[in-house]
Amino acid sequence: MSQRSAGSQRGFTQPGALQEFCSALGIDVPQYADLQWVVEEAVHAPVPQGWSEQRDADGVASFVCVSSGAFSAQHPLDAVYRDSLAVIVRLRREGRSGAAYSAAVAEHLADRRREAEEYLEAWYAPEVAGDAPQCYYSEGLKAVSWLCPAARWEEELSVRWRVLQCAGGGAPGPPPGGPLRLAEPPAGLAQRLAGGSSCVPGAALNTINVDMPRTAGGDDEVTALLGTIRSMCVQRAAEDPELSYCQGMGMVAALFAVSSRCEEQAYARFSGYIWRLRGLWLPGFPLLVAGAALFEQLAAGRPWFQHFEQAGFEYNMYLPQAWLALFQTWLPRQARQLLLPLLEREGLAGLLATSLAVLDHLEPWLLQLEDEEDLLMGLQEFRGRAPDPEGLVEAVRAWLPRARRGALLRAPAAAAAASGAEPGSPALAAALAAEAAGLPLRRSQAALLRAERGQEPALPARPRRSKTWAAAAASAQSPGGAAEHLAAGAQAPGGAEEPLAAGAQSPRGAAEPLAASGSAGAAAAAGGLAPAAAAGGGGPAVLGGAGAAAAPHARRSQRALARSDDGEGSSRR
């Protein structure tokens, strides 16, 4: 929804702010006291469908349009109410009343409607297969939405019409012009979208929708950000059809959302992190299997690990929850947030070091748990028994050198290999560049590299134990090359040259992951979130940057959530 701010930067969301608002417009307050109801209505207006409200640590509210990513520091309808008030005041000053007033209002509405129609010209409702939810697609904005973009314009027009009509003494009713329409989808759009460019498949969207309400784990701050978290997951799934959405990613998105300054930053960090470690969530969970083998090597000497082995307590019972959901079940949020920069920087080594440090801390208690069943039940107590965050960070740092070496053991000498090879073809050059940049390789690229280096394809050797996840990895029908490639490399104990998860297990430490994350972020901004600014009409604002009053928005928050749930339900047709 566009922000046509007609007054001060300050929202009039505080009760009694009419005076301030009117002064900013140069309006004589007593003269327009009859318009108090408009302000009151604005203060109590629910967040429109498709918008989500969140509050930062200081309780300052901000709003994000879930479908377009548009960000606003003010309630999305504030501008509409403010603009309507300005129109009323202008018309009164011009001395228009009766038919003249009505004509001016009709003209104003017609202008706004034209604006809506222009915006909607870019939106299509492509045909979706079966009972998949209807999604909406904008070619120009390269944006996907599962809320009809016409709906919010209709809401805006209806607010304007009602306010202007009532202020002029007229009867409220539906705004003139009838329902807004979307553009006709061009021929072949459905096929193109099904080709995987940027439409999220219905099944993934359904899972995201079903998961969102149970992503916060009772954390109010995360709950307030669910709209943002959902849009992060949808955007990520649209950009990476092979990975799409996997359960656990929502909790990763949640941690980035609460730890970031603004939505753009949250998405860039989230997407970069997922990109580096995407083998954790790919079908078959190849990086989990590979990482678990490293974990077991590193843990081999620890008493708790020997205890685990004696009890038959296997990694597949505790590592997936930790790694695929950024330790949500292991650590309180404060500790996870403190660790997050380190985890972003270190990739797999960070996950290894954190897991080992936490289990070291829990050792005295773990050793008291007698058997597998006790250990399984004990998992639920991990978070309550977590070490203090600062101490944990120290312990993780202490583990890092070994964890990095472990990760290095299997990582490719990518840079050396790349510099030694003649770029025989553009395809080879691309493969080398991808490898050097730490990007997952396509199967054809991996084969090309192996052929170039005269290597045999890696044998998919068995991991040491715990076949469950490994078997899943082996049997998973992964559509793309990255999964097999990762899995094959991961399970080759001696495969030092095998380009295993080059991105995930960076040999170059801090510098490169930052670059990788940065480029992913840039790509995200270009491909996904840039439309937010276009759609919103405003620049990227900073969460919590505006001095909007928190209290009325806090009251709205519950309704906002309820509304967004309704929206979710109605989008599933």
* Residues near other proteins (CB under 8 A): 131, 203, 206-207, 210-211, 214-219, 246-248, 250-251, 281, 283-285, 312, 314, 316-317, 320-321, 324-325, 328-329, 370-373, 376-377, 379, 466-469, 471-472, 475-476
- What is the radius of gyration, based on Cα positions, of the chain? 27
Question: CB-wise, 243 or 349, nearer to other proteins?
Answer: 243
CB 94 to other proteins: min, Å: 51
CB 480 to other proteins: min, Å: 14
Question: CB-wise, 170 or 213, nearer to other proteins?
Answer: 213
Q: Which helix (H) or strand (E) holds 136?
A: strand 136-138
* Beta-strand pair 143-145/136-138: antiparallel
Distances (CA, A) of 446 to 209, 441, 450, 457, 486: 36, 6, 6, 9, 10
**What residue type is assigned to position 208 of the chain?**
I
CB 246 to other proteins: min, Å: 5
Sole residue written with tokens 């929202």: 11
DSSP 153-222: HHHHHHHHHHHHHHHTTPPP-SPTT----PBPPPTTHHHHHHTTSS---HHHHHHHHHHGGGTSTT-HHH
Distance of alpha carbon 212 from the chain centroid: 11
Give the whole-angstrom CA distance, residue 30 versus residue 33. Answer: 5
CB 336 to other proteins: min, Å: 13
* Lookup: tokens for 76: 């999305």
Question: CB-wise, 121 or 370, nearer to other proteins?
Answer: 370
Is residue 299 helix, strand or coil?
helix
CB 3 to other proteins: min, Å: 34
Residue 241 DSSP symbol: T
Question: CB-wise, 207 or 271, nearer to other proteins?
Answer: 207
Question: CB-wise, 150 or 292, nearer to other proteins?
Answer: 292
Give the whole-angstrom CA distance, residue 54 versus residue 313. Answer: 41
Question: CB-wise, 180 or 476, nearer to other proteins?
Answer: 476
CB 379 to other proteins: min, Å: 8
CB 375 to other proteins: min, Å: 9
Give the whole-angstrom CA distance, residue 215 versus residue 345. Answer: 24
Question: CB-wise, 419 or 475, nearer to other proteins?
Answer: 475
CB 466 to other proteins: min, Å: 7
Cβ-Cβ contacts under 8 Å for 562 (sequence gap 6 or more): none
Question: CB-wise, 206 or 519, nearer to other proteins?
Answer: 206
**What residue type is assigned to position 336 of the chain?**
R
